[in-house]
Amino acid sequence: MKYFQLKPEKQVEKEVLDWLLQNGFSVDVYDSKAIFSETAQRYKKSKAMKEGTSDLLGVSPQGFFVALELKAPKKEATCTLDQRNFLQDKIEKNGFGLLVSSVSSLQETWSSWIELRNQGKINEAREFIKSKLPSRITIENRIVAIGPS
């Protein structure tokens, strides 16, 4: 029998999906990566998805929109400006948007966020999750620091 190791981001995806489904979330995986064109001999961006669309989109058991951008551990700074802006837009509309590189960080962040929401502290919940947005992102193959949103 041949065994194979999942790529680190795919391992995060599997673990996150398992946790989400065990906890009553309804989520789908979206792949918006560029595709190599043999004809053009370069990568072409997908026209089917908005640039920066998160990897997982769905709804929490409480009815909140959820957008999760998955990254391998220690690769959080590979988040692009479009990905960060996508998450920030969903947060501004009272959804849950997060860059995730481990199930434990998702669990901790979700638990704190949903507790604030359940207490009716909508603005505090929004500011809390905004504080979790990446402060370092990749622009034109360079990692840059950005200020708070």
Q: What is the pLDDT of residue 34?
A: 56
Asked if pLDDT for residue 9 goes beyond 70, the answer is yes
Q: Is 72 contained in some domain?
A: yes
Domain with 37, as residue range(s), is: 8-145
pLDDT digits (tens, 9 = 90+) for 43-67: 555 566 788 899 999 999 999 999 9
93-117 pLDDT, tens per residue?
999 999 999 999 999 999 999 999 9
When divided into structural domains, the chain yields a total of 1
Question: Does residue 1 lie within any of the structural domains?
Answer: no
**62 belongs to a structural domain:** yes
Tell me, what CATH number does 112's domain have? 3.40.1350.10
pTM value? Answer: 0.84
Residue 127: closest CA among 149, 99, 100, 104: 149
The pLDDT score that the predictor gives to residue 141 is: 76
Pairing, β 96-100 against β 65-70: parallel
Give the count of alpha carbons within 13 A of 81, CB side only: 9
Please report whether residue 84 resides in a domain. yes
